[in-house]
Structure 1
Amino acid sequence: MSFVAERNANTKDDLLSGTADEYLYQRCLSLRTKLLRIRGLDHYFKLSAISTNSQQPSDPVSQLWDLFSFGAPLCYIFDQLPSERGFRKLNNSSFGQEQYNTNPDRTRKRAIVLFAMQILGPIVKEEIPGCDPFTVTDLWDRSSTNGLLKVINTVEAIIDRFPHCFFEETPSSSDMIVSLQSSIPAENIINIISELIVTERKYVHDLQSTLIVTTALSEANVMDQDGISLLFPELEKLVDFQSKFLTGLESISRLPWQEQRWGRHFFENEDGFATYMAYGFNYTKACTVVPTIEENLGHFQLIVKDLGGLSMQLVRPISRLCKYPLLLDCLIKQCSPSTYAHYSELQFGADAAKRVADKLNDAQRRGNNEHIVDGLRSRVQDWKGHHLNNFGKLLLEDVFMVTKSDTVWEYHVCLFEHIIILCQPEAGHRPAQGRKNPPLSRPRRTQDTLLLKGRIYWHDVTQVFPVPAQIPQIGIPVFPLCIWWKGDDALESFVLRCRTEYQMQQWEAMINSCIKSPRIAQDSETDSIYSLASSRTASTDYGVYYTRWAISQDMTTELGSMQMRQSSDSFWS
């Protein structure tokens, strides 16, 4: 593993050594500058670009990848080592034209193999201990930077042995260096881009540190691979993708302002962010096991603590992905089509970042719901003849203050594809504080045994609608959501007292979606009543909601409280 190979994993200092400057882009930029100063090496850059049938890339990572994959430059570098110290000459720094044209890949691979075999020799191991063994496949695999990092480690170790006379004072090909910006954007734009780059460097550095530590934990048998995969799924793949993403950001930042295509970089990499979805899905379950894992880290506890703890490492990828849309939106606000040539691309990039963040939130919600269903399976002892597996997927859940028959109860409400259920801790089977309108504080979540107190299948639900917001005496607004369903003998209802308008709208939309699902064909007489009443009111949403609420109150009065109590027995227990 390349990052582990860069550091000795025996001590805390070795594990966490290095600074935020040790990124692939910076290392390649520094090494490229050194290589361009080595006499006779500059022309290999152009040859390597021609050999890959591509235009000369501007970013140093691609340039060095092409250079080393050509093979001959590696042999040329090795041949600069003094033969009097026992270093054998490879004499393969140039290719015969006929031989190369016959099979260019074979010719390049042969040169790479000669170099790779030579660094395994005892003299190299003794004189140049920093060399990192690699294979042709390691270097040619462009889907991972691991092989490239191994070659960079080796080349850096070798050229550090060269005397000063081997280097020219200035790079021999100034045209290889990225030009300075020809135009300077506004200061606010510079600050936003700077924040994006600096925080991305820190983020990649933290990911690399996490990879190093988790590898050390695995090798020391402190954590098994299943535990690591739960907390940090496909971490090596994520580190590799994010390192490449940072390289792209670095490359863009060095271009003239009107050539910086920030939005394009995001929408071209949208598919690559799919690795994050496993983090979102596992997040809730991972958080539950973190305390136990941290208690058993042994002498690794201090190392993990220096990284912010496992909880911080868990949330870091999720926080970073949600940060991108905010940064791009800030950049959009500082630009305009008249001042930035790629403004529309920037908008597309921001949309791509938002789509990724939305997918991550959805994955996190699905993972959290799965965790909740597992909890329901173990906490609810009596399902009253129902089967949890028949409920469908869990769509929404929360703990609400619920009003029914002028009494307020605290319930854990779960909205499934086919049914809505209300549960209550066994120890809390009593009205909330014995009052009609208890304070609307955030309800407590416990792990007590749950009693199934209410259940309604969607084919029995007739209507859901918000009612005018209320502000109790304590000054905290309440956003009631009224749900009506068909009881045994009459229509019945209860009210979810939502804490925010967003929560109310979210639950209303999801319930309506379930009611109107193609699987549930309804012929509700109540729907006709509501439709008739709504057509006679103003077209505003508030007017419709207010009218529905008034009708609901009238219907409740007409049906009578006794009739309501009798019909609710089939639902409320």
Structure 2
Amino acid sequence: MAYPSQSNVSLPTSVTQSTQSLLNRRVSTEDSLYHICLTIRRRLELLPQIRPYINLAHASSELLSERQALLLSQKQQLSQQHRSVGSSISGTSGGHSAKHIYDRRISGASSNSYADDTEASSLSVEETVLTFSMGILPISMDCDPVTQLSHLFQQGSPLCIIFNAVKPQFKLPVVSSDDLKICKKSIYDFILACKNYFTFSDEELFTISDVFSNATDDFIKVLDVVTTLLDAAPQVFPPVQVEDVKWSNTEHGKIVREFVETERKYVCDLEVLNQYRNQLLQCGIISSDELYMLFPNLNDIIDFQRRFLISLEINGQVEPYKQRIGALFMHSKHFFKLYEPWSIGQNAAIDFISSSFDKMQGSDFVIANKLELQSFLLKPVQRLCKYPLLLKELIQQSAGSTNYKELEMAWEISKSTTRSINENQRRTENHEVVKKLYGRVVNWKGYRIAKFGELRYYDKVFISTGNPNEAEHEFEVYLFEKIIILFSELTQKKPNSISLKKKSSTNSASTLHLSGMNSATSTSGANPTEAKLDLRGRIMIVNLNKINPMDNRGLNITWESPKEQGNFVLKFKNEETRDNWHSCLQTLLRQIRNESLKSNNSNSDRSSFSSSTYYPHNSITSLSGIQSRRVSDVLPKHHGYQSFENEYRSISENYRASIPETTLLIRISFQNDFYTVLVEIGSGVENLLQMVRRKLTHAGNITKVKYQDEDGDYVMLESEEDWNVVKDMLKESNERILNVWAFA
């Protein structure tokens, strides 16, 4: 049976198993904690002296199940009140059980209110899991057998009765009491007797704390010892066979059976991983940080999934209309967050195995193959992605049933979990892509990639103006939070070019062109090659106007500035990728517009952004051979800024040369007038701002000072970090003059 390596009930560790036999090993009821406890309970029931204790354990575990259901009901009610969603819930008579109360409340719940629920309740998730099963039990089930056995052993005296039945010549005193100290004394007597009269080592035995623990790992230690004693006296505790549920041949029954059996296999695989992890830990082969990187939250995940499986198995025992599989997912929602570190670090774990597996081997290790270990590490994410498919099938077979709404809610939760996992992996991969992008681009032309925001998507995309007479050209396109950037791979071939349609505000036709090239091959953007890249163009997200999906996997994007507008078409490899980009661009644009509305100077801030699409080059060439033009000739300018730039260009080289090496010349534009101050390079931002205010004392209180960064954007200068960025920018461009704009 697949449990931790310290357990007697464990998987074989023979390395003679092939990769396929271990990965495809079938599991059955004998591998199920639920059925193991059913078997042990039936064997114990054969001893008349212990039956009253079993009945008492049933009553106490039933009460605990009721309490758990009530806590979950309260949590749901408080969450609904907090969000003001759904109808008010009327009270119930005192004669109803907690499960009945829950049933009535959940029937009025909104799927969105629960699927989007945050930790609104004052009850934590941990406080609501009091038994060894997740969520609430079906209406016809009083308690789960795992919790029942746990409460049986906590009484203490049943353990002594078991020992006396196996070793009657060394009888222990049996003292029945509800006094906790007396119960613990009986447990201690049992542990000591097992150590003295059996061959148990300290590592194989459990502790008193293990008996009262709510962790499945600790409970399994107790089960191992009890199972060993029962097997030592087959004449007293003969083996019994607990058959698996007789699954229905209906489509619904087949789906539930697949649900349960694949969950058993998954838990078994997790326990193989845990056994391998413990072997690595015991041998000290790799560091604790490396262990966590490989198996983050593994113990917590196994504990949760065992409880989840117990609940699934319980639901499999009852008729379809009594099953609460949907509710199980609803109450497991927050536990799925345990997988976040796993999804974030999975790529790093796979890379680590590829480079370091040689030192992670042992003659008796349960996993002895690199590919095998990588396959096991992928299983958690694969299982989470399987849940929406299974739930969707259940929904299709449950139309009109009383539990239909719960299944729909569970489906939404499982899809949300999968999206979150995929998003974590995407962000992790994108972080590595950005790191590589630093070195792949031959010339960043002064751009600072750190200012682009987070990378959202990247791909190789064909771009055109949408004109059927113009050719498409392939670029590597990177979508950041603030900007879209285009690159072409550097080759020895002479680059072609494409022209992107641009219209002025007076509707006169003009052309804005983008140098480009036709790639020889079309590969997936998911894993770009290490070829060097040439920066070909950009467009600020703030300047996007409309983003419309098109037929044939296209996405038509229109942009506009105060004086110009234009459009271009991105053509993706499939509609799913197109839709992902579309959704992301809409979200980014909506966020920028919301921020703009919150700004007191949203109109002026809007016009202050550099507002054309592609302009990183000193010259732009058209396909038709039109004479090259400077970028400043085709880009719109804010008139106030343009006049300042004209004034700026009039500075003589002699005057520039006269500026001391330790000083910067600050040129201030204020209401169409210009002022200058000299500032020591080593001074702070407050000193700079004070000098600007003193220079403009006659103008009143100066509230804002902005500068133009290397991207052409106008940025507020208000912190030491801003000032350091400015100095770095000037240093890189070997410039001694800073142009700023002051606002009263």
Instruction: Letter of the 2:417 partner, please give it.
Output: V
Q: How many residues align?
A: 506
Q: 1:430 to 1:83 in 2, by over 3 A?
A: farther
1:532 aligned residue: none
Determine if contact 1:8/1:14 at 8 Å carries over to the other structure: no
| Larger displacement relative to structure 2 (511-520 or 228-237) | 511-520
What is the deviation of 1:394? 2.0
What is the deviation of 1:205? 0.8
| Larger displacement relative to structure 2 (284-293 or 248-257) | 284-293
2:486 counterpart of 1:422: yes
Map 1:99-498 → 2, pairs under 5 A: 100=178, 104-121=179-196, 123-125=197-199, 132-142=204-214, 144-164=215-235, 166-167=236-237, 187-298=250-361, 304=367, 309-337=372-400, 340-380=401-441, 382-403=443-464, 406=470, 408-427=472-491, 431=495, 442=524, 445-459=528-542, 461-466=543-548, 468-469=550-551, 477-484=552-559, 486=561, 490-491=564-565, 493-498=567-572
Instruction: Letter of the 1:115 partner, please give it.
Output: F
What is the deviation of 1:41? 1.1
Q: Secondary structure at the match of 1:160?
A: helix
Instruction: Letter of the 1:79 partner, please give it.
Output: N
- TM-score, normalised with respect to structure 2: 0.60
What is the deviation of 1:190? 1.1
Instruction: Letter of the 1:410 partner, please give it.
Output: E
Q: 1:515 to 1:168 in 2, by over 3 A?
A: closer
One of 23, 39, 61 as aligned partner of 1:30: 39
Report Cα offsets for 1:244-290 as digits up to 9, x if no partner: 11111111111233322211111111111111122222233334333
Q: 1:255 to 1:449 in 2, by over 3 A?
A: same
Instruction: Letter of the 1:137 partner, please give it.
Output: S
Q: 1:298 to 1:150 in 2, by over 3 A?
A: closer
Instruction: Letter of the 2:34 partner, please give it.
Output: Y
Determine if contact 2:357/2:370 at 8 Å carries over to the other structure: no
Report Cα offsets for 1:335-362 as digits up to 9, x if no partner: 232xx33222222222222222222222
Query: Matched residues in 1 for 2:365 and 2:279: separation?
Result: 14
Determine if contact 1:109/1:136 at 8 Å carries over to the other structure: yes
1:550 aligned residue: none
Instruction: Letter of the 1:111 partner, please give it.
Output: S
Q: Secondary structure at the match of 1:397?
A: strand
Query: Matched residues in 2 for 1:292 and 1:79: separation?
Result: 55
Q: 1:228 to 1:523 in 2, by over 3 A?
A: same
Query: Matched residues in 1 for 2:36 and 2:496: separation?
Result: 62
Determine if contact 1:131/1:155 at 8 Å carries over to the other structure: no
Query: Matched residues in 2 for 1:439 and 1:310: separation?
Result: 34
One of 2, 12, 15 as aligned partner of 1:12: 15
| Larger displacement relative to structure 2 (32-41 or 189-198) | 32-41
Query: Matched residues in 2 for 1:450 and 1:565: separation?
Result: 24
What is the deviation of 1:429? 8.0
Q: 1:345 to 1:491 in 2, by over 3 A?
A: closer
Q: Secondary structure at the match of 1:41?
A: helix
One of 490, 506, 519 as aligned partner of 2:595: 519
Determine if contact 1:463/1:484 at 8 Å carries over to the other structure: yes
1:542 aligned residue: none
What is the deviation of 1:320? 0.8
Determine if contact 2:3/2:275 at 8 Å carries over to the other structure: no
Query: Matched residues in 1 for 2:352 and 2:238: separation?
Result: 57
What is the deviation of 1:73? 0.9
Q: 1:189 to 1:225 in 2, by over 3 A?
A: same
2:578 counterpart of 1:504: yes
Instruction: Letter of the 2:253 partner, please give it.
Output: I
Report Cα offsets for 1:53-98 as digits up to 9, x if no partner: 54694322111111112222112111223354xx3x3203422xxx
Q: Secondary structure at the match of 2:587?
A: helix
Determine if contact 2:174/2:186 at 8 Å carries over to the other structure: yes
Instruction: Letter of the 1:34 partner, please give it.
Output: R
Instruction: Letter of the 1:35 partner, please give it.
Output: L
Instruction: Letter of the 1:77 partner, please give it.
Output: I
What is the deviation of 1:215? 2.3
Determine if contact 1:131/1:157 at 8 Å carries over to the other structure: no
Query: Matched residues in 2 for 1:114 and 1:19: separation?
Result: 39
Instruction: Letter of the 2:541 partner, please give it.
Output: W
Query: Matched residues in 1 for 2:410 and 2:426: separation?
Result: 24
Report Cα offsets for 1:14-43 as digits up to 9, x if no partner: 997996232312221221121111231111
What is the deviation of 1:106? 2.7
1:557 aligned residue: none
| Larger displacement relative to structure 2 (304-313 or 74-83) | 304-313
Q: Secondary structure at the match of 2:462?
A: strand
2:725 aligned residue: none
Report Cα offsets for 1:214-246 as digits up to 9, x if no partner: 222333344333333223211121111111111
| Larger displacement relative to structure 2 (33-42 or 423-432) | 423-432
Q: Secondary structure at the match of 2:195?
A: coil
Report Cα offsets for 1:403-446 as digits up to 9, x if no partner: 47956443332222222222344458865899879886645721
Structure with higher Rg: it is: 2
Instruction: Letter of the 2:222 partner, please give it.
Output: V
Query: Matched residues in 2 for 1:467 and 1:439: separation?
Result: 25
What's the C-alpha RMSD, in Å, of the aligned pairs? 4.1
Query: Matched residues in 2 for 1:265 and 1:484: separation?
Result: 48
Query: Matched residues in 2 for 1:440 and 1:374: separation?
Result: 23
Query: Matched residues in 1 for 2:381 and 2:539: separation?
Result: 36
Q: 1:307 to 1:344 in 2, by over 3 A?
A: farther
Q: 1:67 to 1:83 in 2, by over 3 A?
A: closer
Q: Secondary structure at the match of 2:198?
A: helix
Q: 1:49 to 1:467 in 2, by over 3 A?
A: closer
Query: Matched residues in 2 for 1:179 and 1:396: separation?
Result: 48
Instruction: Letter of the 1:422 partner, please give it.
Output: L
2:164 counterpart of 1:79: yes
What is the deviation of 1:8? 8.6
Which protein has the bigger helix share? 1
2:639 aligned residue: none
Determine if contact 1:466/1:504 at 8 Å carries over to the other structure: no
Q: 1:25 to 1:453 in 2, by over 3 A?
A: same
| Larger displacement relative to structure 2 (310-319 or 395-404) | 395-404
Q: 1:515 to 1:352 in 2, by over 3 A?
A: closer
Q: 1:167 to 1:220 in 2, by over 3 A?
A: closer
Query: Matched residues in 2 for 1:376 and 1:37: separation?
Result: 70
Determine if contact 1:480/1:496 at 8 Å carries over to the other structure: yes
Query: Matched residues in 2 for 1:117 and 1:449: separation?
Result: 70
Query: Matched residues in 1 for 2:452 and 2:549: separation?
Result: 28
- TM-score, normalised with respect to structure 1: 0.76
Q: Structure 2: where are the runs of 5+ without partners?
A: 66-140, 498-515, 608-623, 636-710, 712-744
Instruction: Letter of the 2:314 partner, please give it.
Output: S
What is the deviation of 1:391? 1.9
Q: Secondary structure at the match of 1:269?
A: helix
